[in-house]
Structure 1
């Protein structure tokens, strides 16, 4: 196996020979064999071991084993202890997910601090098959059927093409000791149930299961590449971005041969799970929304609008004193300047009679019942009616800001001023207010 491992590195992962590597080691068969193979292949590496404190003395025994192994092989080792159960409770995660999050966060931290080029994990061919079957039983798209990637940014899995049987044969032939995790024998978890009860039966049916599975994965990955190319072409035609807003043109989406498939590929990375609701937005009334944990998808006339859910409260106000020259808002900056005469007029600039203002002025989001007296018009108008006439989307309404004197609106910022504060021939002091993005 050592020869096959060296050939695999030379042919498929040659960058590992020159890199500074960090090997994630648990003390189990897989990571111990990876460590020995890497030593024999003369790779430059250190070890990183996580003690999750989930198995009492067994966890400490694993740590001791890894420490002695590092000493025997003359390699550097890093050990980190975690209170995994407390972390899981605080972050509302399963114990397994908490351990995974803690592990990879720490590996990344070590990598950044100590300048490791790559992080190596000991996932092998059987792990890949188990992951495939788990995703298959839970329901997944093509993404979940293409297996564990051999290289994912800084994460590298050099044993992915080797079976667990091959690793065990190598370890026994070379008198390599390892630690057995008793929980791996339990069928309480789906992965273990597949490992001990399902996959052995499949191997009985077909002794070439793993090699055939590898071929299938390669075919699926090729298919995925075709899909990526097709989606990239469609994305250029139907998707546009305006700052932090992503817009999907509905009519163009509906002209595609498989609208649902393209919509899934375009939105799969934004955490949506209620896919029927997402697809139904195409035919829904304007204002209909679907939420993921971090994002919102809104139907607005000709578009689906995707934005990140804001944690900011729309009840916050900004006060502007009489001496203020510049203030920042969520939309941009407001500049205040006393001038002698009115010059240019535009939506992003207004001139008001300063003597009519009552300080401090306030900047806030719109609220129900707001009204103003639109500049150049007679009478008042509700903001809700103004927004409807101006064809504001729900997102634009939520983002809109007004500048106020006490409760009176002076300006719908960057849109329309109020007639009550206009400059007249009786004005003695003119204030120019400019909006800058």
Structure 2
């Protein structure tokens, strides 16, 4: 296997030969064999081990084993300990998903801080088969059927061409020692049930099962390339970017042969899972919203808007005194300048009667019940009604900031409409120009 592994690295992953590498090692058979193979090839490797504290003394034993192995083979090793169950509860994750998130986040952070080029994991052909079966049972899309990617950013799986049997034979022939995880014997987890009960039966039916799967996934990968080419053309027609939001033209999507399928391809990277609801939003009411763990999909009048979930941190109100010339806001700068005459007009600048202002002024978020007197109109209007009439989207309303006088009168919906009560008149003595400049 060593010669086959060496040949595979040279032909398919040659970049590993000149890279600084972390190997994720649990102490189990697969990761010990991967470490031994890379060590034999004299690759520039260090080890990284996670103690998830899920199996008591057994977890601590794995850590001690990895430390001893690193010492025997004269390898640098990094170890961290996690309170996995607490993390799972706080983030509403299964224990397995919590452990996965913790290790991949730490591996990425460690690689960035210490300038490792790649992180190797010991996934092999049987793992890939199990992943294929799990994703099939869950009703995955094409990406799920492609299985475990060999290279995914900094993560590389050089054992994917090799079976569990190949790995065991190599370990036995080289008198390697490893740790057995007792949880792997339990069939309460779907992956273990497939490993112990289903896969052996499938291999009995087809002894060349792993080779057949590899061929199937190669065909699926070819199909994916065709789909991606087609989606690139469709995306240019139906998708636009406005600030940090993704806008999908509803009418253009509805004219496609199968809108649900195209929506899936357009939105699959944003974590949405309820695809019937996603398809239904095309014909839903304006304002309807679907949320994933990371993004929102909002049905506006003409577009579906994809935005990141808003930050939980609240905007802190900012006070402005008479002597302030420039005020820095999260999204740009607000400037104040006394002038003799009006020189430019537009949404980004207003001219007000300075004598009507009561200091300190405040920049704040809009609140339910806020109202103002729109410039050029008679009478007052609630901001919620103004936003509706102006057809502001939900993200636009969430980001709206107000400039407010100390008597709580709204001077300006910044970068939009000013209040008529502060307009210039024949009696105006001091003209104040207030301008907003977006952050570049």
Structure 2 Cα separation of the partners of residues 212 and 351 of structure 1: 73
Aligned length: 437
CA 124–314 in structure 1, closer or farther in 2 if over 3 Å, else same: closer
| More moved, 196-205 vs 327-336 | 327-336
TM-score, scaled relative to structure 2: 0.92
**Cα offset for 1:152?**
1.0
**Residue deviations 1:302-333 (CA, integer Å, cap 9, x gap):** 11112222235778533222222122345532
Structure 2 Cα separation of the partners of residues 58 and 411 of structure 1: 64
| 1:413 aligned residue | 414
User: Which 5+ residue runs of structure 1 have no aligned equivalent?
Assistant: none
SS of equivalent to 1:23? strand
| 1:166 aligned residue | 166
8 A contact 1:314–1:365 mirrored in 2:
no
**Residue deviations 1:74-129 (CA, integer Å, cap 9, x gap):** 33333333333343344433322232223223322332233222111111100000
| 2:110 aligned residue | 110
Structure 2 Cα separation of the partners of residues 63 and 313 of structure 1: 38
**Cα offset for 1:263?**
0.6
**Cα offset for 1:206?**
0.7
CA 390–32 in structure 1, closer or farther in 2 if over 3 Å, else same: closer
SS of equivalent to 1:287? coil
- Matching of residues 234-383 of structure 1 within 5 Å: 234-311=234-311, 317-383=317-383
User: Which 5+ residue runs of structure 2 have no aligned equivalent?
Assistant: none
| 1:201 aligned residue | 201
CA RMSD, 1 decimal: 2.2
| 2:56 aligned residue | 56
- Matching of residues 68-107 of structure 1 within 5 Å: 68-107=68-107
CA 311–70 in structure 1, closer or farther in 2 if over 3 Å, else same: closer
Structure 2 Cα separation of the partners of residues 205 and 328 of structure 1: 69
- Matching of residues 3-42 of structure 1 within 5 Å: 3-42=3-42
**Cα offset for 1:388?**
4.0
| More moved, 22-31 vs 341-350 | 341-350
8 A contact 1:364–1:403 mirrored in 2:
yes
SS of equivalent to 1:417? coil
**Residue deviations 1:131-189 (CA, integer Å, cap 9, x gap):** 11111112211111101011111111111010001111122222222222222111121
**Residue deviations 1:174-228 (CA, integer Å, cap 9, x gap):** 2222222222111121111100000000011111111101111111122122222
SS of equivalent to 2:338? strand
| More moved, 240-249 vs 360-369 | 360-369
**Cα offset for 1:273?**
2.1
SS of equivalent to 1:217? helix
Structure 2 Cα separation of the partners of residues 377 and 74 of structure 1: 79
| 1:137 aligned residue | 137
